[in-house]
A and B are shown apart, each in its own frame.
Chain A
C-alpha cells in the first residue's frame, strides 16, 4: 500500500517529467478520438446521403416484391401493421409508398419513368423530399398535381404548370392513364433519379393504377444506424412471413461493400496512427527511465527488492497514463462537439462536385460516446504495454553502474 503512496509522491516530485508523460498520453487520446470521430462521422454521413436519397434505412414489402417489383406484388394497407412498426422506439419515421412504372408524355415526346406515390409529410420526414424541390412547391395531401425530376422535365420540355400525361399498366390488368399539372420540379444528386422520377400523392397514384389501398413499401428511418441489424430482425419477427423486411445493406450490397472497403483502408490509416503514437509515448517513457537511473540504482542499492521497484514504476506509470487518458477524454469531448456543430466544410472544386451529386460538402464528426471510450482504452492499453519495456529494464538494473 505504501508503494502507491510512494508512487504518488514520486510523480509530484518531478512535475515536469510527469506532466510531459501525461501530455503524451493526453494528446494521443485527443488525436485518436478526433480522427476516429471524423472517420465515423464521414461514413455515417455518406450512408445517410446515399440512403436518404431514396431507399431509406429499412423497407417493408410484400414478400417477393424485391425480386419482382410489380404492382401485383403490392400489399393491402393495414393499420395494424403500421402500429406494430411504430411501436419500435428506434423507428423515427414511416413513409408509405406505391411505386410503379409508366410512360411520361408531353406534347411531342414520351419517356419511361418511375412513378412514386407518397404521403407528403411522412415522406419528407424520412427522405427530406421537400428539400429537393428547386422550383414550384411541394405536394400536399389531396393534391392532384405532380412533382417531376429536373432531368425528366428537361427532356420532355415541360415547365411548371404544364400538364404531364402518364400512361401505363395498372393493378389487375387495368390501364393506367392520367393527366397531372406540374406543381414542382425536383433536383436529385443521383443522375438516375434526376432523369426518371415523378411523385404523386398516394391517393392520386392509387387512382391512377386502380390500386385501392395498396402499398408497395413502407420506407423507414431510424435514429441509430448502428442498430440497423437489430431493428431489421426485430421487425422481421414482428411482422411475420407475409412481409419481407430489408435493410439498405440488403437492397444495395455494392454500396455496403464500398463502405467496407473504405473502412478497411481507414483502419490501416488508424493503425499507422497508433503506431506513431506508440513511438511518441515510448520515447517519453524511455527518457523517463534513463533520467532516473541514478535514483533507481540508489533505491536498489539501499535494499529495495527489484520486484518492488518494478511495481513502484508500474504504479507510477499507471497513474500517469490513466490520468492522461481521462483528461484526454474530457478534453476531446468539447472538441468533437464543436466539430459536430460546426463541421469542417470544404470549398472550391471539391465542394462543387460534391454538391452536384447531392452530397453536403462537409466533414461531420460523430459524438458517439463509444468512440471516446474505445480510443481511450486503446491508448491506455498501448501505453501500459509499452511501459513494460522500461519496467523490464529496471529488473536488469545494475545499481553500481546506474549510480555512476
Chain B
C-alpha cells in the first residue's frame, strides 16, 4: 500500500517529466488507435459496398456456369428454389438473374459487356441499383427493350440517354443473337471497372433471346445480417449439393486480400508506434532515475529493500501510463466519432485510384473496439518492459555512492 502512495507522490513531484511522459503515451495511443480507425473504416466501407452494391452475401449458380458463362447452364426450376429460399429466416432478399457475355455495338464501335437480365423490383432490393442512377429512369413498366448502362462505358462509347445499341451474344443453342436496346438510364457506382462492363436489361426480355424459357443463371442472396454468412452458406451447400453456392469471400478474393493486408498493416503500425513509445519511456525514466539517485540511495539507506524500490519505479510507470491512456483513447474516440459522421474526403487527390479499386473516396473512420483490449494490453506491457531497464539501473548503485551525489 505504501508503495502505491510513494509511487503516486513521486510522480507529482516532478510535474514536467510526468507530463512529458503522459503526453507521449497519450499521443502514441491516439495516433495508433486513430490510424486503426481509419483503416477499419475503409475496410468496412469496402465490404459493405461489395455486399450491398455488388456481389451480395451469397450467390448460387449451376456449377459449370461460371467457367464460360454459357447460356445452357441454368439453375433448374428457379421459381421453386426461390420460394424455398425465401422461407429461410436469415435470407432477406433474393434476385434471380440471367447473365450473358456479349458485345455492345454502336455505329462507331463495340465493347465487351456482361449483360444481366434482372427483375427490376428484386434487383433494387438486393443491390440498390436504382440508387446508383445518375440519369434517366429506372425500368419503366411500359417501355420495351430498356437498357441500363454504366457511366464509364457510356462515356467511352459516346452514348447518351435514348441512344440505341445492339447487343450481340450466343443463345442456349450457340446461335449468334442480336437485339436492339435503348438506353433509358445510366448508373454510376464507386467501382469503375464494373461500370465499364455491366449492363442491365429486364430478365423477361433477355430470356426469350437466350432461349432459356424461365431459367436463371444466378441467384443473389442478401442476408439479414453479416454474421450469419458462414452458417447460411454451409447450410445451403448441404441442401443443394448439385448447385454451386458461394459467398462474397470466394467470389471476390481480392476483397479478402484487402482485408488481410489491411489487418497486417495495422499490426505493423502498432508495433512501430509501440517501439517509439517504449524508447521514449525508457529514456525519460532513465533520466529520471539518474536525477533521483540521491533520493533512491536515501530510500535504500533507510532500509527499503531492492524489490521494493524496483516496484515503486514500476508502479510509477504504470500510473503514468494509466494517466495517459484515457487521454489518448478519448481523443481517438472523439475524432473517430466526428470524422465518422462527417467523413474524411480524400477525393481531391485520390478519387481515381480509389474508384479503380472500388473504394469510395470518403473515409468514415470507425473506432476499432475489437482491437481495443489488445492495444491496451500492448501499451501496458510496453510501458512495464520499458521501465525494467531504468529500474535495474536505479538499483545498481550502492546507497553510499548515491548519497554522495
Contact = CB atoms under 8 A, between A and B. Distances in A.
Quick check: do A and B touch in the complex, using CB within 8 A? yes
Interface of A: 16-17, 20, 23-24, 27-28, 31, 35, 109, 155, 253-258, 260-261, 264-265, 268-269, 272-273, 275-277, 279-284, 286-288, 290-291, 346, 349-350, 353-354, 356-357
Contacts of B21: 279, 283
Contact of A283 (B20, B27, B272, B273): B20
B68 interface: yes
B107 interface: no
Interface in B1-51: 14, 16-17, 20-21, 23-24, 27-28, 31, 35, 38
Given A20-B283, A277-B280, A283 B24 contact: yes
Interface string B241-268: 0000000000001001100110010000
A284 B21 CA distance: 10
Given A155-B68, A257-B352, A349-B260, A276 B276 contact: yes
A27 B277 CA distance: 12
Contacts of B283: 20, 23-24, 27, 280-281, 283-284
A264 B361 CA distance: 14
B350 A288 contact: no
A353 B350 contact: no
Nearest to B292: A291
Nearest to B24: A279
B15 to A, nearest CB: 11
Contacts of B287: 17, 20, 283-284, 286-288, 291
Contacts of A272: 27-28, 31, 35, 273
Given A28-B279, A283-B20, A291-B291, A261 B260 contact: no
9 contacts: A17-B287, A20-B286, A31-B276, A258-B357, A272-B28, A272-B31, A272-B273, A277-B280, A287-B290
B108 to A, nearest CB: 14
A273 B16 CA distance: 22
B346 interface: yes
A197 B35 CA distance: 40
Interface residues of B, number: 44
Contact of A261 (B20, B28, B67, B349): B349
| B interface SS class | helix
A34 to B, nearest CB: 9
A288 B16 CA distance: 12
Contact of A16 (B14, B23, B275, B290): B290
Contacts of B277: 276
Contacts of B106: none
B32 to A, nearest CB: 8
B275 A284 contact: no
A272 B284 CA distance: 18
Nearest to B277: A276
A287 B276 CA distance: 19
Contacts of B288: 287
B354 interface: yes
Contacts of B16: 286, 290
Contacts of A264: 349-350
A350 B259 CA distance: 10
Contacts of A353: 253, 256-257, 260-261
**Among A260, A283, A354, A356: residue with most chain B CB under 10 A:** A283
Contact of B24 (A23, A276, A350): A276
A25 to B, nearest CB: 10
A24 B281 CA distance: 10
A283 B17 contact: yes
B318 interface: no
**Among A31, A260, A261: residue with most chain B CB under 10 A:** A261
B290 A268 contact: no
B111 interface: no
Nearest to A27: B279
B17 A287 contact: yes
A345 to B, nearest CB: 13
A273 B276 contact: yes
**Among A281, A282, A356: residue with most chain B CB under 10 A:** A282
A297 to B, nearest CB: 16
A64 B172 CA distance: 42
A269 B31 CA distance: 8
A279 B273 CA distance: 13
B260 A276 contact: no
Contacts of B275: 31
A268 B281 CA distance: 22
Interface string B342-382: 00001001101110110000000000000000000000000
B279 A356 contact: no
B233 to A, nearest CB: 19
A291 B284 CA distance: 13
Given A23-B283, A260-B353, A280-B283, A356 B253 contact: yes
B353 A261 contact: yes
A291 B295 CA distance: 12
Contact of A286 (B20, B260, B279, B354): B20
B173 to A, nearest CB: 15
B34 to A, nearest CB: 9
Nearest to B280: A280
Contacts of A277: 276, 279-280
A253 B354 CA distance: 12
Nearest to A280: B280
Contacts of A23: 283
Given A35-B272, A276-B24, A257 B350 contact: yes
Q: Which 6 A-B pairs have the closest CB atoms?
A: A287-B287, A280-B280, A257-B353, A283-B284, A279-B24, A276-B276
B269 interface: yes
A290 B15 CA distance: 12
Nearest to B34: A272
B17 A155 contact: no
Given A279-B21, A284-B283, 11 more contacts: A20-B287, A27-B279, A31-B276, A31-B279, A254-B353, A257-B353, A264-B349, A269-B272, A279-B23, A284-B286, A290-B291
